[in-house]
Amino acid sequence: MKDYELFTRDTKAFVYGSQTRAVQRMLDFDYMCRRDSPSVVAMITPERGGFEKFFWGTREIRIPRIRSIGEAVDLFPAADVLVNFASQRSAFDVTMEALEADTIWTIAVIAEGVPERQARILAAAAKEKRKWIIGPATVGGIKAGAFKIGNTAGTMENIRMAKLYRPGSVGFVSVSGGMSNEAYNIIARTTDGLNEGIAIGGDAYPGSTLLDHLLRYEKNPEIKLLVCLGEVGGTAEYEIAEAMKDGRIKKPLVIWVTGTCAKVLPGQVQFGHAGAKAGSEIETADAKNAALREAGAVVPDSFDDYHLRIKETYERLVADGTITPAVDFDPPQIPMDYKQAVAEGLIRRPTHFVSTICDERGEVHSYAGVPIDDVIEERYGIGGVIGLLWFKRVIPPHAREFLEMVIQIIADHGPAVSGAHNTIVAARAGKDLLSSLVSGILTIGPRFGGAVNGAAEHFLYGLRSNLSPREFVDAMKKKNVRIQGIGHRLHTVENPDKRVEILKGFAKENFRATPLLDYALSVEEVTTKKKANLILNVDGCIGVLLVDLLKELGFGDDEIDRMIAMGTFNALFVLGRSIGLIGHYFDQNRLEQGLYRHPLDDILYDVPERPEEVG
Ligand code: ACO
Ligand code: LMR
């Protein structure tokens, strides 16, 4: 790289700090310039490693996050620029560390308010190592068509309008970053465009000065016209005047020192920047403009004429053949971010999901339209929540109470039943909570706990077909189908299931009518005549009562059939029994029970000695 060149189309940079938006802007600029590869090779973020995703045009790419400068320079020795977004507190240490790194040559220090003493140390250290510091307190700079520091030059739209995606003939340097955006637009309108622009930052002791950059531009053969914006305060502009006088600057320079209005304001005015105040007559904008004019610079009468002087000077250089105007081209489009396009109403797309039971987008999320704070305040309870999330209805108190009663009643039925047994065996095999729970839940089916659905279906079939209980039992036997909800291993007519008694009692007292329960009970009369254990069991009772309840709540036959098809009725057993299964898992853990192995004498071994060979 030539000594006057800080950035090229191949520049590789690190960005220090979690400035993802700035990185994306840098990459968008690279893409617009048709660079071969992104300029940012890594982010340096001590707080975390991993990577960050960014767009390269329409494609997503990964950029690593590296925790330290040391690691970053080892991994990417070709990167010679550091864009330092470290805070005011750590900007100094980070910059000093980067100055020590052999491969980093240019550091842009973005932080404002770096103490003057530290800024002077940084500037001196950089000079000694022949390295470059841009800033502190700067937005950075831009090499048109090649590389952009952080947020320099504003939006992509601004960059496109100012034609910064390809180099022109103008080298620009200013104190202020904000003014530089304005200047880039002026330069685009009045010349063949910017070649390079740097904002040195508004502190009293910048790491590099206006003159440092003008001298670089002087050496750069691509740059034919120098444009500069100085500022009231300090004496840096006199250095420029000197350089013009002693021949170090030969290229035409259009310059304006801002802050001429300071003289009409009372007292010593401090402008936005730390360095922008005139301590004595020679630091005033007027004095500096006069000195520059005298040294041969093109100095307008006011900022209003700045663009005219740039235009005239440029046109003169074209006329005398010094400048061959750069050829323009259409840069690639930078795709708009999806979020922004949606916000501006520019695009739409069909959704992939529909949800009609819960919405989490508001301040407080809602169950079927009822905000959860109302759910709590109005005491919906578990029953009310099931009403909202399963049935999308605000169900009345007796319906809530019924659902809650079911859950409590079927929460557990001892360690011997299929589900609990499986959970216990899994827990004792060292499985975790979820695996043990799921292993219990997975036993719920047509013989155990999962007959609620089937019971609703079977008894509804009998009732809707106008079959007498006897006809129904016979019809099912003919089909060789066990009536779901009938029969129990333990409970009989003489040893009734208390749970069934409770549910029946509640329904008789609170439901408007119980037609399906009544039908099931008359079926029970028939089956128990055959065998005392063929009672209406707890699954059956829940199934038929739930149908009666849903009918009372206004659900039609079609809706109920659809619920049966979806397994809605079994869901209540799954929900309730999970409480017990989780309890068994905890119980086994607390008891520190070891692996279960079934006793061999509890198994009938009936294995043939050796089967005969076939074929
Ligand atoms: N419908 C019609 N006949 C039945 C039914 C039924 N649901 N259940 C048993 N029988 C008959 C059998 O066909 C058999 O008749 P057979 O002597 O003429 O051969 C007789 O009754 C005894 O059958 P078993 O299988 O010995 O009965 P068991 O007591 O072992 O079965 C079980 C209990 C598994 C619950 C059984 O009754 C059944 O499958 N019921 C339907 C499923 C069901 O409702 N499960 C939920 C139970 S409750 C719960 O898990 C929370
Ligand atoms: C249960 O609720 O788990 C029981 O009714 C099943 C059984 O086998 O006793």
Which pLDDT belongs to residue 262? Answer: 60
**Do residues 383 and 521 share a domain?**
no
**Do residues 474 and 583 share a domain?**
yes
Is 260 within the bounds of a domain? yes
The answer to whether the beta carbons of residues 474 and 483 sit under 8 Å apart is no
Taking CA atoms only, the protein residue closest to ligand 1 atom 29 is 489
**Do residues 119 and 38 share a domain?**
yes
Question: What CATH number should be reported for the domain holding residue 309?
Answer: 3.40.50.261
Taking CA atoms only, the protein residue closest to ligand 1 atom 9 is 487
Q: Is 273 tagged catalytic?
A: yes
Ligand at minimal distance from the CA of 474 is 1
Q: How far is the CA of 484 from the centre of ligand 1 (A)?
A: 8
Taking CA atoms only, the protein residue closest to ligand 1 atom 44 is 485
Ligand at minimal distance from the CA of 412 is 2
Is 324 within the bounds of a domain? no
Number of the ligand 1 atom closest to the C-alpha atom of 485: 44
User: Taking residues 223-251, what's their average pLDDT?
Assistant: 95
**Do residues 441 and 358 share a domain?**
no
Reduced 3-state DSSP string for 336-360: CCHHHHHHCCCCCCCCCCCCCCEEC
pLDDT at 1 over 90: no
In terms of Cα–Cα distance, which of 216, 169, 209, 158 is closest to 193?
Answer: 169
- Tokens 């508004």 sit at which residue? 202
Number of the ligand 1 atom closest to the C-alpha atom of 417: 50
Q: Which pair of structure tokens corresponds to residue 205?
A: 């002791």
Taking CA atoms only, the protein residue closest to ligand 2 atom 1 is 413
Is 613 within the bounds of a domain? no
Domain final position from 296, 319, 342: 319
Ligand 2 test: best mutation among 443, 447, 489, most atoms within 8 Å of CB?
Answer: 489
**Do residues 165 and 137 share a domain?**
yes
**Do residues 391 and 268 share a domain?**
no
Which pLDDT belongs to residue 402? Answer: 98
Which pLDDT belongs to residue 259? Answer: 85
Give residue 388's pLDDT band: very low, low, confident or very high (50, 70, 90): very high
With 0-12 CB in 10 A as exposed, 13-18 as middle and 19+ as buried, what is 430? Answer: exposed
Q: Is the bond into 136 cis (omega within 30 degrees of 0)?
A: yes
Q: How far apart are CA 75 and CA 101, in angstroms?
A: 13
Number of the ligand 1 atom closest to the C-alpha atom of 413: 51
The pLDDT mean for the chain works out to 95
Is 504 within the bounds of a domain? yes
Is 176 within the bounds of a domain? yes
How many DSSP H helices and E strands does the chain contain? 23, 16
**Do residues 459 and 495 share a domain?**
yes
Taking CA atoms only, the protein residue closest to ligand 2 atom 8 is 417
**Do residues 558 and 433 share a domain?**
yes
List pocket residues of ligand 1, CB cut-off 6 Å.
Answer: 447-449, 451, 482-489, 531, 533-534, 537-540
The answer to whether the beta carbons of residues 7 and 79 sit under 8 Å apart is no
pLDDT greater at residue 349 or residue 1 = 349
**Do residues 400 and 440 share a domain?**
no
Number of the ligand 2 atom closest to the C-alpha atom of 420: 3
**Do residues 443 and 387 share a domain?**
no
Ligand at minimal distance from the CA of 449 is 1
Q: Which pair of structure tokens corresponds to residue 88?
A: 């005011």
Domain final position from 408, 436, 454: 408
Number of the ligand 2 atom closest to the C-alpha atom of 414: 3
The tens digit of pLDDT for each residue in 147-206 reads: 999 999 999 999 999 999 999 999 999 998 888 999 999 999 999 999 999 999 988 899
Which pLDDT belongs to residue 432? Answer: 98
Establish how many alpha carbons lie within 13 A of residue 566's alpha carbon, considering only the half-sphere containing its beta carbon.
11
In terms of Cα–Cα distance, which of 15, 107, 8 is closest to 63?
Answer: 15
Q: Which pair of structure tokens corresponds to residue 341?
A: 């396009």
Query: Could you say which DSSP state residue 445 is in?
Result: B
**Do residues 375 and 441 share a domain?**
no
Q: How far apart are CA 241 and CA 445, in angstroms?
A: 93
Is 2 within the bounds of a domain? no
Q: Which of 213, 273, 307, 584 is catalytic?
A: 273
**Do residues 224 and 187 share a domain?**
yes
Give residue 279's pLDDT band: very low, low, confident or very high (50, 70, 90): low
CB of 142 sitting under 6 A from ligand 2: no
Q: How far is the CA of 462 from the centre of ligand 2 (A)?
A: 25
CB of 451 sitting under 6 A from ligand 2: no
CB of 406 sitting under 6 A from ligand 2: no
The identity of residue 455, as a single letter, is A
Is 229 within the bounds of a domain? yes
The identity of residue 409, as a single letter, is I
User: Taking residues 273-293, what's their average pLDDT?
Assistant: 82
Containing structural domain, residue 363:
350-408
Is 344 within the bounds of a domain? no
Q: How far apart are CA 232 and CA 358, in angstroms?
A: 61
Which of 105-114, 271-280, 418-427 is predicted least confidently?
271-280
Total domains present in the chain:
3
Q: Which pair of structure tokens corresponds to residue 507?
A: 């329904």
User: Taking residues 39-64, what's their average pLDDT?
Assistant: 97
Strands of 132-134's sheet, edge to edge? 51-56, 59-66, 40-44, 13-16, 81-84, 106-109, 132-134
